[in-house]
Amino acid sequence: MILNRIFVDPQIMTGKPCIKGTRVTVGAIVGQMASGSSIQDILADYPYLENEDILQALQFAAYRVEEQEVALRA
């Protein structure tokens, strides 16, 4: 699996995984989904994101919960 929309940079959001080119963290997206927001709701809140950004954030979170390492480019 290639997660080319998720990145980590120690100087952006203290190194938390983010959507590439933004300061939107994977945790923010997962948190919104957990509180009942739909993908459409998140896209309305962040109009610069795309559907695939949300899906990759969820995929990344799922892998991390299963303690699988996912290589990301810094």
Whole-number Å distance between alpha carbons of 11 and 30 = 22
Dihedral sign of CA atoms 47, 45, 53, 71 in order: positive
Q: Per residue in 3-62, pLDDT tens? A: 899 999 999 999 999 999 999 999 999 999 999 999 999 999 999 999 999 999 999 999
**Count of the separate structural domains present in the chain:** 1
Residue 46 domain-assigned (yes or no): yes
73 located within any domain:
no
**pTM listed for this prediction:** 0.85
Task: Report the pLDDT averaged over residues 64-72.
Answer: 71
**Predicted local distance difference test score (pLDDT) of residue 1:** 66
Rounded CA-CA distance 33/28 in Å is 9
Q: What is the pLDDT of residue 70?
A: 65
**Is residue 71 a part of any domain in this protein?**
no
